Amino acid sequence: MLILGIETSCDDTGVALTRNGCQVLASRVSSQVEIHRPYGGVVPEIASRAHIENLPPLVHQTLGKAQVRLEEVDAVAVTCTPGLAGCLLVGVSFAKALAYALHKPLVGINHLEAHVYTAGLDKPLDEHPPFPHLALLVSGGHTALYRVDSWTRLAYLGGTQDDAAGEAFDKVAKVLRLGFPGGPAIQKRAEGFMGAFIEFPRPMVGQGYDFSFSGLKTAVINYLRGREWEDEEITRVAASFQHAAVDVLVTKTLRAAGELNLRHISLVGGVSANAALRQELSRRGEEGGFSIYLPGMAYSQDNGAMVAGLAYHYLREGRTADLTLNAVA
Ligand code: KG4
Ligand code: ZN
């Protein structure tokens, strides 16, 4: 079954074509980083307009790369929640029109569930995390732990009470004037740092399955206040912040997995591209007897393949949408 997936929930326009859920025939992502860079963050109205311009050529490129004609597509899937309202609306309207014109089923996909699905995307079945497993979702908008009973049944265990992990990376990078997007900039700065870390707090590390990152961000701001910071100090702060954030995420995830007796753990979402987080979760997880599952680097960030891939499982359960499908921010 050939499914076309469309993702426009934030600032990346993603279009992909998958076969039977797991095989990615083509995936194209148009990043808007350069458009938003002068503003230091995503401007929703500008992002929506860019999605409108990006979608038609991306669909053509994706079909061309996969050597599939539009009429051969069996279903159209689109992210309909959560995200920026205007951005979601562009994708949803586009997908509805396409499904209607092609007389093919439409599938509305939850962006967070799609991220969770990336742990199995474009991998043979024996490399998928078995059910139930624990998923740590870390992105620009969300930080949450889920027990994944099947690709379409997720139980929410806990999440951030304030900033998301990626949001904290982005805000700290802004304070350090490292540019946008902040996550990759902090990682780059922190690479190869061999000095002593500043001991930043690890909020809520010992309790429950919820997270808090705003206290860590404030601690960084307070540390910098009234200080002269040269290049070396920026590197030390970036590395120490990353070290603390990674430590909280890994410690809490492993504790949750232990308490819930889940031996398989996946790491998904934009922040799962972070090398320190990947390494630390893999190292400490495997030491603790857990199996760790990471998405391919191309699928950490927002993309259409995760939407098309998950839609296959929705379709198998008969969960299609009609033309009243709406975007829910
Ligand atoms: O999943 P995603 O593409 O979009 C949302 O659904 O939010 O995640 C984007 C987030 C941004 O906050 C970005 O700074 C962060 O992922 N990110 C990273 C890295 N690459 C992207 N954070 C830390 N280290 C990275 N290498
Ligand atoms: Zn995302």
Residue 71 is part of a domain; what is its CATH number? Answer: 3.30.420.40
Ligand lying nearest the CA atom of residue 113: 2
Which residues lie below 8 Å from residue 202, measured CB to CB, with a gap of 6+? 216, 244, 247, 248, 251
27 pLDDT tier (thresholds 50, 70, 90): very high
Q: Whose CA is nearest to atom 1 of ligand 1?
A: 270
Could you tell me what percent of the chain has a pLDDT over 70? 100
User: pLDDT tens digits for 247-278?
Assistant: 999 999 999 999 999 999 999 999 999 999 99
Quick one: pLDDT at residue 112? 98
Helix extents (H) in 67-164: 85-102, 111-117
Q: 129: cis peptide before it, omega within 30°?
A: no
CA-to-CA dists, residue 300 to 268, 278, 311, angstroms: 6, 11, 18
Quick one: pLDDT at residue 270? 96
Q: Any idea of the CA torsion for 246, 136, 159, 288, to the nearest 10 degrees?
A: -70
User: Domain of 255?
Assistant: 130-295
Q: Whose CA is nearest to atom 8 of ligand 1?
A: 270
Quick one: pLDDT at residue 273? 98
Quick one: pLDDT at residue 207? 86
Assigned domain for 40 exists: yes
| Pairing mode of beta strands 153-159, 143-150 | antiparallel
User: pLDDT tens digits for 209-248?
Assistant: 999 999 999 999 999 998 888 888 999 999 999 999 999 9
Helix 231-260 to helix 182-190 angle (10° resolution) is: 110
Closest of 209, 249, 6 to residue 111, by C-alpha: 6
CA of 233 to the centre of ligand 2 (A): 31
Spell out which residues have Cβ within 5 A of ligand 2, the ion: 139, 302
The reply to whether 155 and 98 lie within a common domain is: no
Mean pLDDT, the chain, as a whole number?
96
Quick one: pLDDT at residue 43? 94
307 pLDDT tier (thresholds 50, 70, 90): very high
The tally of domains found in the chain comes to 2
Dig out the tokens for 232 from the structure: 């070396």
Q: Whose CA is nearest to atom 7 of ligand 1?
A: 140
Ligand lying nearest the CA atom of residue 272: 1
The reply to whether 105 and 143 lie within a common domain is: no
Assigned domain for 122 exists: no
Arithmetic mean of pLDDT, 96-104? 98
* Ligand 1 interacting residues, C-beta cut-off 6 A: 10, 139-141, 166-167, 169-170, 181-184, 187, 269-271, 273-274, 301-302
User: pLDDT tens digits for 105-148?
Assistant: 999 999 999 999 999 999 998 999 999 999 999 999 999 999 99
Assigned domain for 51 exists: yes
Quick one: pLDDT at residue 239? 98
The reply to whether 162 and 270 lie within a common domain is: yes
Q: How far apart (Å, rounded) are the C-alpha atoms in residues 323 and 188?
A: 44
Assigned domain for 239 exists: yes
Q: How far apart (Å, rounded) are the C-alpha atoms in residues 215 and 189?
A: 22
The reply to whether 134 and 113 lie within a common domain is: no
Amino acid at 109: I
Assigned domain for 167 exists: yes
User: pLDDT tens digits for 274-288?
Assistant: 999 999 999 999 999
Q: How far apart (Å, rounded) are the C-alpha atoms in residues 77 and 99?
A: 9
pTM of the model: 0.96
Arithmetic mean of pLDDT, 175-197? 94
The reply to whether 103 and 170 lie within a common domain is: no
58 pLDDT tier (thresholds 50, 70, 90): very high
- CA 284 to chain CA mean position, Å: 22
Assigned domain for 172 exists: yes
Assigned domain for 325 exists: no
CA of 43 to the centre of ligand 1 (A): 16
The reply to whether 140 and 275 lie within a common domain is: yes
| Pairing mode of beta strands 75-81, 153-159 | unpaired
Quick one: pLDDT at residue 119? 98
Quick one: pLDDT at residue 180? 87
Burial per residue of 42-57, b for 16 or more beta-carbon CB atoms within 10 angstroms, e otherwise:
bbbeebbbbbeebbee
Assigned domain for 103 exists: yes
Amino acid at 132: P
CA of 300 to the centre of ligand 2 (A): 8
